[in-house]
Structure 1
Amino acid sequence: MISIKGLSKVFKTNSDTITAVDRLDLDIQDGDIFGVIGYSGAGKSTFVRLLNRLEEPSEGNITIGEKEITALNTNELRLARQEIGMIFQHFNLLWSRTVKDNIAFPLEIAGIPKVERENRVQELINLVGLSGRENAYPSQLSGGQKQRVGIARALANNPRVLLCDEATSALDPETTDSILDLLVDINEKLGLTIIMITHEMHVIRKICKQVAVMENGKIVEQGDVLDVFLNPKQTVTKKFVEQVMGNGTEDDLEQLLETYNQGNVVRLHFVGESANQALISQLAKRYHVELNILQGKITQTQRGAYGTLIVQITGETDEIDKARQFIADETSVEVEVIRNVT
């Protein structure tokens, strides 16, 4: 487990003091894919660089497994970093080296014998899907291929933890998805802990199990990804959820209510298996009501599906009440009455 207690980083200039990370507490379970999301300036990149002491903490403790990283001397830290891989937004490859030589670089530093090194490099090339590109130089690779080299290099010393600092921000959406799929595959095959630093909720939704939201150097919200999608509490979290769900604004909702001014307008919240229920057709068959889907979206997370539909239900009052009661009593879909305009 990764345990972080009271972690702070303060930068001092001639005229100012900036607290980039502010007394942060966090526990991350072994084998988890843990997301840390925040807008630019939230402190998330500083936070991830503190984990392997690329930045020195101003105060606080970091423990990875049984090692207190913040208590290690220079030689101990150098060895401990072999168990902490890191990939970057802009790849940080050595442009004068080929794919295989880039991947071999940390093994050379660790003093691994040549034959063992070559076997390990080929194993990693196969793992990240770069077979046939071993002798290419970074300038001959696409962005996605460069990041695959970065991932293979980060895995060279069999780390227990993989830190990903905005690893997909420089990539197009299709390539981003392929890299995220690769990280999930690596997590499942190798069982290592992955910490994803990002400003994109799509990344969190697609691969993370737990998420922490950072703002002004603090964690302002944390929990299971599906729970955070369902009940975002902070304004910043709601904005991130809207990135994926595309929820309309209050003005959009008011316009819907003005346009569809009969019957009930309800918001249906689907979670997990309920997202697969043919609820709308069931209601239409069971009750003398008409249903009109006004707005909505269903999306998948690692913990299950989540989504909302805004639906207009028209008909006799008692039939509308029966339909709503059926949803409440017989399904796991949550019903929120936005307006009763009968």
Structure 2
Amino acid sequence: MITIKGLSKIFHTKDQDVRAVDDLSLEINKGEIYGVIGYSGAGKSTFIRLLNRLEDPTEGSIWVDDQNLTSMNKGKLRLARQEIGMIFQHFNLLWSRTVHDNIAFPLEIAGVPRAERQKRVNDLIELVGLKGRGGSYPSQLSGGQKQRVGIARALANNPKVLLCDEATSALDPETTDSILDLLVDINEKLGLTIVLITHEMHVIRKICHQVAVMEQGKIVEQGEVLDVFLHPQRQVTKKFVDQVMGDPEKETSMQVIKNNYEAGEIIRLHFVGESTNQALISEISRKFTVDVNILHGKITQTQKGAYGTMYVQFEGEQDEINRAIHYIQSTSVEVEVDPDA
């Protein structure tokens, strides 16, 4: 659906050249919700503006549904953009227009007849959960309602792709979840490909199928969300995973454990998918002569299944502890033994 090859963007300033996006390549499949995460300055906002050529790339190509956006003239690009909707962090609504008229605006520009516009707008108002608010002005709406208007407006021309630029960053957690649920609903009902950028791992965890991690203009890690949660490779990715899992830094947590639990073996368990439902700890207690002390743990849900991590302490004879660890390793639960604990 979307193929990006060797994409770069260099901004020329008085003092220096800034490479905001650096030789970036990605494949995004049709119907996916693809998340791009990075801290401020990583280049993710520039990247998403390149996708519909609000910014022109310095190098590289962008293909959307077999069309090369980077080689199009302004006329063809104007038509191609009708198939790419975009929602923004601060809504970008027309404050002098009602909800109805904000949503109708791109249809007016596209020359859609009035009767057809009316039906399309009413359908979209219902789709995004704003029935009865068509005559309201943006100043009369909450933040979440404003973003729903932004989503409806982005969907007006029946786009194939929806770009989300920090779409929930200005919202409170409860409203964020409701907007994310709406995006999932739209993805499933319309088969829409969604690309979103964020600095919040909660957003990635809740709705994305795939994730790419950006740092200094580059993609440093990418893959299925569950895989990235389970095996983060880069330090920046580990920090993002910790946002959701709530784990303290491993060095700090292990130091606390060492200070308070002198005996036994400290083990970190990773649960994925169906393994999160296993009564593993009680099985270990029944099968082996070891005492099990749960020190820290959390389970969270991704689009591809549950993911959990838990620190436990095993006390008993070393041979029996080794047998218990070997048993866990024979299951779908992954085991990490801290060598210094």
- Is the TM-score greater than 0.5? yes
Q: How far apart, CA to CA, are the structure 2 residues paired with 1:78 and 1:186?
A: 24
Equivalent residue for 1:120?
120
Alignment-derived partner of residue 325 in structure 1:
326
Amino acid at match of 1:102: N
Deviation per CA, 1:153-202: give whole Å up to 9, x if none: 00000000000000000000000000000000000000010001000000
How far 1:339 sits from its partner (Å)? 4.5
- Quote the Cα distance in structure 2 between the aligned partners of 1:15 and 1:323: 61
Is the Cα–Cα contact under 8 Å of residues 21 and 217 in structure 1 kept in the other structure?
Answer: yes
Say yes or no: does 1:61 pair with 2:66: no
Aligned equivalent of 2:287 = 286
Give the aligned residue type for 2:179.
I
TM-score between both structures, scaled by the size of structure 2: 0.97
Partner-residue secondary structure (3-state), 1:270: strand
Q: For residue 306 of structure 2, what is the amino acid of its counterpart? A: A
CA contact 1:266–1:339 (8 Å) conserved in 2: no
Corresponding position of 2:268: 267
Give identity over the alignment, percent: 70
Alignment of 1:82-97 (within 5 A): 82-97=82-97
Residue number in structure 1 paired with 2:143: 143
Give 2:254's aligned amino acid. L
Question: 4+ residue runs of structure 1 moved beyond 4 angstroms?
Answer: none
Task: Give the direction of change, closer, same or farther, for the CA distance of 1:260–1:339 in structure 2 (3 Å limit).
Answer: farther
User: 1: distance between equivalents of 2:91 and 2:160?
Assistant: 20
- RMSD between aligned residues: 1.1
CA distance in 2, matches of 1:12, 1:275: 51
Aligned-pair distance for 1:322? 2.6
Which amino acid letter does the alignment assign opposite residue 153 of structure 1?
A: R
2: CA distance, partners of 1:154 / 1:188: 17
Alignment of 1:97-176 (within 5 A): 97-176=97-176
**In structure 2, C-alpha distance between the alignment counterparts of 1:275 and 1:73, rounded to whole Å:** 52
TM-superposition CA deviations, 1:230-289 (whole Å, max 9, x none) = 111111111111111122221221121221111211111111111111111111222222
Match of 1:51 in 2: 51
Q: Helix, strand or coil: the match of 2:241? A: helix
Q: Could you tell me how far apart the structure 2 residues matched to 1:46 and 1:336 are? A: 39
Aligned mates of 2:265, 2:154 — CA distance in 1: 55
Query: Quick one: distance in 1 between partners of 2:301 and 2:32?
Result: 18
Residue 239 (structure 2) aligns with: 239
Secondary structure (helix, strand or coil) at the match of 1:85 reads strand
Separation in structure 2 between the aligned mates of residue 97 and residue 41 of structure 1, nearest angstrom: 34
Cα deviation, residue 318, structure 1? 3.3
Which has the larger displacement, 44-53 or 229-238? 229-238
**SS of match in other structure, 1:174:** helix
Q: Separation in 1 of the partners of 2:11 and 2:269?
A: 47
3-state SS in 1 of match to 2:299: strand
Any stretches of 5+ residues in structure 1 without a counterpart? none
Deviation of the 1:307 alpha carbon: 1.6
Count of residues in correspondence between the two structures: 340
Which residue number in structure 2 is paired with residue 253 of structure 1?
254
1:24 partnered with 2:56: no
Q: Within 1, Cα distance between the matches of 2:304 and 2:128?
A: 25
- For residues 3-26 of structure 1, the C-alpha deviation after alignment (integer angstroms, 9 at most, x for no partner) is 111111111122221111111111
Contact 1:264 1:340 in 2 (8 A): no
Partner amino acid, structure 2, of 1:14: K
Instruction: Supply the distance in 2 between the matched residues of 1:308 and 1:162 (Cα, whole angstroms).
Output: 33
Contact 1:263 1:340 (8 Å CA) reproduced? no
The 3-state SS of whatever aligns with 1:294 is strand
